[in-house]
A = this chain, B = another copy of it.
Amino acid sequence: MKVNTPTTTALYSIEQAIKAYRRLCNKNISKIIEDITVDQALILIILNDNSSLTQMQIGDLVFKDYASITRILNLMEKKGYINKGINNKDKRRSLLEITTKGKETLTILSPTIQLNRNTALKNITEDELNQLYTILNKITNNCNQ
């Protein structure tokens, strides 16, 4: 395969890393809580830390299409992790809040989420993390021009 130039391997390795990380997260999370996905857990964290976010804001935070957010939130409501009402100040918007079950789930998952991050970043220095962050941001900006 002719994919061994720095250009191609770098982009290739991004895909590889994120998939390995997601697999790890999914595996460890589903060991603890059966019916929640990594994406749903992340949204739960966001809803727990921030009040009165719109679905669009959530989508922007997690880099997901608004259509995906609609569907993910519907599933999360069906499973009792969140409540979805209507914002009376602006009836186009929904009013999202985490339920008690959602908060409890976060408490239970919290060590696993931390473990996943630590596992992924084992033996990587803070310097390297900053480099990584800087370079990836350049790529993101380049792509979003």
Residues of A within 8 A of B (CB): 1-3, 6-11, 13-21, 23-24, 45-46, 49-50, 61, 63, 117-124, 126, 128-133, 135-140, 142-145
Contact = CB atoms under 8 A, between A and B. Distances in A.
A12 to B, nearest CB: 9
A129 B130 CA distance: 14
Nearest to A128: B135
26 contacts: A1-B46, A6-B133, A7-B121, A10-B129, A10-B132, A10-B133, A11-B117, A13-B132, A14-B21, A14-B132, A14-B136, A15-B63, A17-B137, A17-B140, A17-B143, A20-B139, A20-B143, A20-B144, A21-B139, A23-B143, A120-B143, A124-B135, A124-B138, A129-B135, A132-B132, A132-B136
A96 to B, nearest CB: 14
A21 B16 contact: no
A26 B99 CA distance: 37
B121 A11 contact: yes
